[in-house]
Chain A
Amino acid sequence: MKETQPSQRIVITGVGLAAPGADNLTAFRQNLLAGKSGIRLMEHRYIGTVPAGLCDFPETRYRKKKDNKRGTRAGCLGVYAAHEAVADAGLDLAHTDRGRIGVYVGLTEHGNVETENEVYNLSQFDNNVDFWSHHHNPRTVLNNPAGEITMSLDITGPHYSVGAACAAGNAALIQGLQMLRLNDVDLALCGGISESTGSFGVFASFKAQGALASHPHPQQASRPFDQGRNGIVISEGACLYTLERLDDALARDAKIYGEIIGYAMNSDARDFVLPYWPRQAECMQLALNRAGLTARDIDIVNTHATGTRHGDIEECRALRAVFADCPHTYINNTKSLIGHAMGAAGCLELAGNLPALVDKLVHPTINVDDLDPECNLPNLVRDHPKEAGRVDVILNNSFGMLGINSVVVVRNYQQ
């Protein structure tokens, strides 16, 4: 059901991000269009050398080093992205009712990094719990990254995390949209954050599952749709949006990146880790229905594919079911360039494609040197950007463990 009332139409007015290889949207987009990978090697306790997506950004631009040390990596990433989003939106919080701002952060997981570090620390002191840090609980409560953002920006409205595995970024975006439509807040600061590169357990678990990527050249390790893929490249990152109701955005003459015209979430209800294409297809179709669109109206589908054989093929089945006979629908994959940023993935990948609504370019998927025939989708954009001519609507997929699917549809702003 398409929303037409300005108070129910939700638009994106600001983007703040830290991605592997970029600390702002312009640089991020340039990397994606150039096919430049942000993946490098990192050393990890117990695991050794692994390819990973790490973020370099000015960590003390908005917060003292002391506070970064006190808080978490997720908090550090989130505070940076939140300030950047607010600045990008041209919002003056000094003249904004901060009690009417909501902070909604999508997380795949939180607390693994901090717990592993404390357990390691404890092992250095004969496992005497007197040496367990008083910082452990405030660092590991699930609202930690969102709460650190509110403290840094003096936001007194609601804040909480949305846990939705790797669909979490999109889920938080949807939460922000819904809270604006309910008039619960006037501004939603929402998106996804991941600090998972700090957790050896996340790497080890994917490895045990046979789903951790390895490659002699890190920039070639993330290769969704390619026959030579061997798993996921784990990344950290953050991407937060400012969402506003259209009438509020127009009243302050805000820059509008796009309007979220459709969304959907559903559950596979069948397996802990394996995705299921019929539910993914249903999720995409539901988002299209809510947007009042057909598949042919979609110009870019930004895929979730992570570089696991089963997952890639399953999503391609869903795409074939929904996007059959859509000659102008281009398909790409951002993870091939930045790895899998977990809770931040959906929002980062959407951000990387948002500029296409203006420049009309579809960023390429890289590392598809030997296309898996089962992933041979029409209009899969590979190696070089595609001049699409028309890019009005982007559909972004994000799926996660325990069978959670999310789809967001964004259109360029039209009166």
Chain B
Amino acid sequence: MTPEAIKEVILEIIQDIDEDADLASLKGGLPLRDQLDLDSMDFLDIVMELRKRYKLQVPEEDYPQLASLDSTVAYLTPRLHDV
């Protein structure tokens, strides 16, 4: 998957969690939780959805790397390269 495709997937997952989320004004470099109505359980929803869709296990120690949209895309790009 390309970084652009991964970004679209993440936004789709967030939209599925909260269809009222304002994704248009989302700043990629800032923490997602500072900009959206997301808490730790929602964050686990994102991790679970990645597991379901791509059989990707994100170890708990890597969770900080999923803080912002940009860092999430950067983290996932090599891991979803062959998807």
Q: How large is the interface on A (under 10, 10 to 19, 20 to 34, 35 or more residues)?
A: 10 to 19
Question: A65, A66, A134: which contacts B44 (Cβ < 8 A)?
Answer: A134
Chain B: residues with CB nearer than 8 A to chain A? 17-20, 37, 41-42, 44-45, 48, 51-52, 57
Q: Mark A44-64, 1 if CB is under 8 A from B, else 0.
A: 000000000000000000001
By the criterion CB–CB under 8 Å, are A66 and B52 in contact? no
By the criterion CB–CB under 8 Å, are B57 and A130 in contact? yes
From A64, which residue of chain B is reached at the shortest CB distance?
B20
Q: How far is the CB of A323 from chain B (nearest CB, A)?
A: 52
**Cα–Cα distance between A135 and B45 once the two chains are bound (Å):** 9
Neighbouring A residues of B57 by C-beta, 8 Å: 130
**Cα–Cα distance between A65 and B41 once the two chains are bound (Å):** 16
Q: How far is the CB of B25 from chain A (nearest CB, A)?
A: 18
From B39, which residue of chain A is reached at the shortest CB distance?
A70
By the criterion CB–CB under 8 Å, are A135 and B41 in contact? yes
Q: How far is the CB of A75 from chain B (nearest CB, A)?
A: 14
Neighbouring A residues of B51 by C-beta, 8 Å: 130-131
* 12 other A-B residue contacts (CB within 8 Å) besides A70-B42, A134-B44: A64-B37, A65-B19, A66-B18, A66-B19, A66-B20, A66-B37, A69-B17, A70-B41, A125-B52, A131-B51, A133-B48, A134-B48
What 7 A-B pairs have minimum CB-CB distances, sorted nearest first? A66-B18, A134-B44, A65-B19, A64-B20, A134-B41, A130-B51, A131-B52
Q: Which of A119-156 contact B (CB under 8 A)?
A: 125, 130-131, 133-135, 138
Neighbouring A residues of B42 by C-beta, 8 Å: 70
Neighbouring B residues of A131 by C-beta, 8 Å: 48, 51-52
**Cα–Cα distance between A276 and B19 once the two chains are bound (Å):** 51
By secondary structure, the B interface counts as helix
Neighbouring A residues of B19 by C-beta, 8 Å: 65-66
**Cα–Cα distance between A130 and B50 once the two chains are bound (Å):** 12
From B52, which residue of chain A is reached at the shortest CB distance?
A131
**Cα–Cα distance between A130 and B51 once the two chains are bound (Å):** 9
From B18, which residue of chain A is reached at the shortest CB distance?
A66
Neighbouring B residues of A64 by C-beta, 8 Å: 18, 20, 37
16 contacts between A and B (CB under 8 A): A65-B20, A66-B18, A66-B19, A66-B20, A69-B17, A70-B41, A130-B57, A131-B48, A131-B51, A131-B52, A133-B48, A134-B41, A134-B44, A134-B45, A134-B48, A138-B41
Q: How far is the CB of B18 from chain A (nearest CB, A)?
A: 4
Neighbouring A residues of B41 by C-beta, 8 Å: 70, 134-135, 138
Q: How far is the CB of A80 from chain B (nearest CB, A)?
A: 18
Neighbouring B residues of A65 by C-beta, 8 Å: 18-20
Q: How far is the CB of B1 from chain A (nearest CB, A)?
A: 21
Q: How far is the CB of B14 from chain A (nearest CB, A)?
A: 11
Q: How far is the CB of B59 from chain A (nearest CB, A)?
A: 12
**Cα–Cα distance between A69 and B17 once the two chains are bound (Å):** 8
**Cα–Cα distance between A133 and B47 once the two chains are bound (Å):** 11
Neighbouring B residues of A130 by C-beta, 8 Å: 51, 57
Neighbouring B residues of A66 by C-beta, 8 Å: 17-20, 37
**Cα–Cα distance between A135 and B40 once the two chains are bound (Å):** 11
Q: How far is the CB of A53 from chain B (nearest CB, A)?
A: 28
**Cα–Cα distance between A235 and B51 once the two chains are bound (Å):** 36
**Cα–Cα distance between A116 and B62 once the two chains are bound (Å):** 31
Neighbouring A residues of B45 by C-beta, 8 Å: 134
**Cα–Cα distance between A244 and B81 once the two chains are bound (Å):** 63
Neighbouring A residues of B44 by C-beta, 8 Å: 134
Q: How far is the CB of B38 from chain A (nearest CB, A)?
A: 9
**Cα–Cα distance between A386 and B77 once the two chains are bound (Å):** 72
**Cα–Cα distance between A64 and B21 once the two chains are bound (Å):** 11
Q: How far is the CB of B4 from chain A (nearest CB, A)?
A: 26
**Cα–Cα distance between A392 and B42 once the two chains are bound (Å):** 51
From A69, which residue of chain B is reached at the shortest CB distance?
B17
Neighbouring B residues of A70 by C-beta, 8 Å: 41-42
Neighbouring B residues of A133 by C-beta, 8 Å: 48
